[in-house]
Structure 1
């Protein structure tokens, strides 16, 4: 930890204020709690909301994992890990199973999370009604009145235009049978991981000054019409060209040597772990 800095960057008063907002968010699943978003040494829009949550809840004995769109070594992930480590001295890991706190942009890990873990999601736009209503005052009233007709109309218009809902990410969800919530720009593939999750899910939007949460074992349902059920990204008959995984979220790539389309696990640490298992099994079989 750097000298002449508070543990985890913030002073204790700031951390307490953010933790109070987190506690309120946990008590009211899916409800957006306003908070006094602090100035950070990274630009707004690069994960300041999630970072403020992480810095407010992290302890000296915690182990931290940070991912950006499935990758542990992207610029965003590396920069956040560096800041947290330099102001706390906590241990860092790429392995999901080892982490106490996982901060993520755009993905929920493939490995199932446990009751002892917290995942912090970075959120650019926390208001699921923003696409149909610009006024913050009006969206607050709509939430209070359980009026989500605008969201349903948006999905209906997509079906009329494209024959299906066209939300590739951040598909709105209904939380605890009460609030419609933006799950952050995770792919539709990850929405189901929020439902009855063992882990606590915290979501932070620094620029919009909002914190919200999905407590463990909470019902989370993706919005869909009965005759147009919710569907996720399909990877039928596809598998990772490295580790062979076929039941995960895959990236579509071009092999520069052959020009052919190949697929690879989006979750890089999961892919490496599966690849190591495959290689180990091959070695063991060669000696059998």
Structure 2
């Protein structure tokens, strides 16, 4: 930890204020809790909400993992890890199973999370009704009155225009059969991972000054009509060209040498873990 800085960057008063907002968010699943978003040494829109949650919760013995769209080595992930480690000295990891706190942008890891873990999601726009209603006081009123007809109308219009719902990410979800929530720009593929997750899921929007949460074992249902059920991205018949994984979120790539389409695990750490497991099995079988 660098000298002349508070542990985890913030003073204790700032941490307590963020923790109080976090506790309220956990107590009211899916409800957006306003908080006094702090100025950070990174630009708003680059994960300040998630970073403030991480810095307010992390302890000296915690192990941290940060990913950006499935990658542990993107500029955003590396910059956040450096700030947290420089101000805390905590251990970093790329292995999902080793992490106590996982901060992520646009993805939920492929490995199932446990009750000992906290997933922190970075959120650009926390209000699921913003595309329908620009006025903040009106969206608050709509949430209070359980009025989500606008969200349903948005999905209905997509079906009428495209023959299906056209949300590719940030598909709205109903939390605990009460509040409709923006799950952050995770792909539709990741929405089911929120439902009854063992891990605590925290979502932070620094620019919009909102914190909300999905407590462990909480019902999370993606909005859908009975005759047009919610579906996730399909990778049927495809597999990762490196580790062979199926039933995971895959990136579509072009093999320029062969002129063919190939697929690769979006979660880079998961792919490496699968390759390591395969190598271990091969070594054990060789000496068996």
* 1:102 match: secondary structure: strand
Answering whether residue 256 of structure 2 is matched by residue 256 of structure 1, we say: yes
Listed one character per residue, the Cα deviations across residues 87-112 of structure 1 (whole Å, up to 9, x for unaligned) are: 00000000000000000000000000
Q: Please give the alpha-carbon distance, in whole angstroms, between the structure 1 residues aligned to 2:235 and 2:278.
A: 21
**How far off its partner does 1:287 sit?**
4.0
Q: For residue 181 of structure 2, what is the aligned residue in structure 1?
A: 181
Q: Please give the alpha-carbon distance, in whole angstroms, between the structure 2 residues aligned to 1:235 and 1:64.
A: 30
* 1:111 match: secondary structure: coil
Q: For residue 88 of structure 1, what is the aligned residue in structure 2?
A: 88
**How far off its partner does 1:276 sit?**
1.3
Unaligned runs of 5+ in 2: none
Q: For residue 214 of structure 1, what is the aligned residue in structure 2?
A: 214
What aligned pairs does 1:1-288 form with structure 2 within 5 A after superposition?
A: 1-288=1-288
Q: Please give the alpha-carbon distance, in whole angstroms, between the structure 2 residues aligned to 1:44 and 1:222.
A: 28
**What TM-score do you get using the length of structure 2 for normalisation?**
0.99
**How far off its partner does 1:164 sit?**
0.3
**What TM-score do you get using the length of structure 1 for normalisation?**
0.99
Segments ≥4 residues shifted beyond 2 Å:
279-288
**How far off its partner does 1:257 sit?**
1.7
Q: Please give the alpha-carbon distance, in whole angstroms, between the structure 1 residues aligned to 2:286 and 2:240.
A: 23
Q: Please give the alpha-carbon distance, in whole angstroms, between the structure 1 residues aligned to 2:61 and 2:283.
A: 36
Aligned length: 288
Q: Please give the alpha-carbon distance, in whole angstroms, between the structure 2 residues aligned to 1:52 and 1:149.
A: 33
Q: Please give the alpha-carbon distance, in whole angstroms, between the structure 2 residues aligned to 1:117 and 1:14.
A: 23
* 2:170 match: secondary structure: coil
Q: Please give the alpha-carbon distance, in whole angstroms, between the structure 1 residues aligned to 2:251 and 2:159.
A: 25
Listed one character per residue, the Cα deviations across residues 156-213 of structure 1 (whole Å, up to 9, x for unaligned) are: 0000000000000000000001000000000000000100010000000000000000
Q: Please give the alpha-carbon distance, in whole angstroms, between the structure 2 residues aligned to 1:101 and 1:207.
A: 22
Q: Please give the alpha-carbon distance, in whole angstroms, between the structure 2 residues aligned to 1:52 and 1:259.
A: 44
* 1:141 match: secondary structure: helix
- Give RMSD over aligned pairs: 0.7
